[in-house]
Homo-oligomer: A and B are copies of this chain.
Amino acid sequence: MKNRPLSDDALALVARRFAVLSEPMRLRLLQALAGGEKPVNALVELTGGTQANVSRHLQTLTEAHLLKRRKEGLQVFYAVADPSIFQLCELVCGSLEKRLAQQAEAFEPKSGR
């Protein structure tokens, strides 16, 4: 009863989610937030990006509902709002590892013919 062809609108939403996850810096930020809520300055340090750039990417992630924002005095704390992104990354990593392992096999005469 599932997996019927998605509507154009739905397709656009899915595509947008993937687009948000398609920048290394944003993945780095998500990774940095895997351990829990952190303020912007900590994220700037952890990722090595500029403050302006980090701030923009955090905005993108927040607008996509992947992060949530909490202000506390001067600082702004960000945290992962949608844990499913970690499952996504794991799936992709698994798929990539599998492929790379297969490609590596082609160069190792181990049990090859």
Copies of this chain present in the complex amount to 2
Across-interface contacts of A88 in B (CB, < 8 A): 88, 91-92
Q: Smallest distance from the beta carbon of A21 to chain B beta carbons, Å? A: 4
Across-interface contacts of A22 in B (CB, < 8 A): 15-16, 18-19, 22
Given A15-B23, A27-B11, A27-B14, A91 contacting B87 (CB threshold 8 A): yes
Across-interface contacts of A76 in B (CB, < 8 A): none
Q: Smallest distance from the beta carbon of A27 to chain B beta carbons, Å? A: 5
Interface residue A12 (Cβ < 8 Å from any Cβ of B): yes
Contact A19–B17 (Cβ < 8 Å): no
A sample of 10 more A-B contacts (CB under 8 A), given A11-B24, A15-B23, is A2-B90, A3-B34, A6-B27, A12-B24, A14-B92, A14-B96, A17-B92, A18-B18, A65-B99, A87-B91
Which residues of A does B touch, CB under 8 Å? 2-3, 5-6, 8, 10-19, 21-24, 27-28, 31, 34, 65, 82, 84, 86-96, 99
